[in-house]
Amino acid sequence: MKQQLRKYLNTKWPAIFWSVIIFLLLVMPPININQEKPLEFSGIDKAIHFLLFGIMVWLWGYYQKTISATRKNLVSQLLRITVIVMIYGIVMEYVQDWVGRDFDVWDMVADAAGAITGFILLLVQKEDPGGNRGRNQN
C-alpha cells in the first residue's frame, strides 16, 4: 500500500488534481443564507488557505523531486514552484473578487505563508527515493 501511494505521488496527477480542486473551491459563488452576508470563518478561513497552498507546493515539489537531476537544480525548481503558487494565490484573490466573493489581502498572506511552509517542508524532508532501501526487510 505504501509503495502504491509513493508510486502515485511520484506522478504529476495528485498535484494537478489538487490545483483543480483549489481553483474550483476559490471560484465557487458564495453561499447566501436568507440573502445575508455569506458565512465568515475568519481564522478558519486563513488556516484553510494556508493548508490548501502549502499542500499544493508540497505536491508539485514532491513530483519535482522525482524528476530532478541534482540538488542545486531541485532547490531552484522548488523555489520556482513556490513563487508560481504564491502568484497563483494573488491572482485567485482577484478572480474571487470578480466572481462575487470577498477580496481579502490576508488570504493572500495565508496563501503565501502556506506556500513557503510547503517549500521548507520539502527542503527538510529526508531523501528516501527507494522507500526502505538499506533496511532489513524481514
Looking at the whole model, is its pTM more than 0.75? yes
pLDDT tens column, 31-52: 654 444 555 556 788 999 999 9
Is pLDDT of 138 > 80? no
pLDDT tens column, 82-117: 999 999 999 999 999 888 888 889 999 999 999 999
Report d(CA 20, CA 93) in Å as an integer.
Answer: 15
How crowded is residue 66: how many other Cβ atoms within 10 Å of its Cβ?
A: 13
pLDDT of residue 86: 97
Is pLDDT of 26 > 70? yes
Residue-by-residue DSSP string for 66-78: HH-SSHHHHHHHH
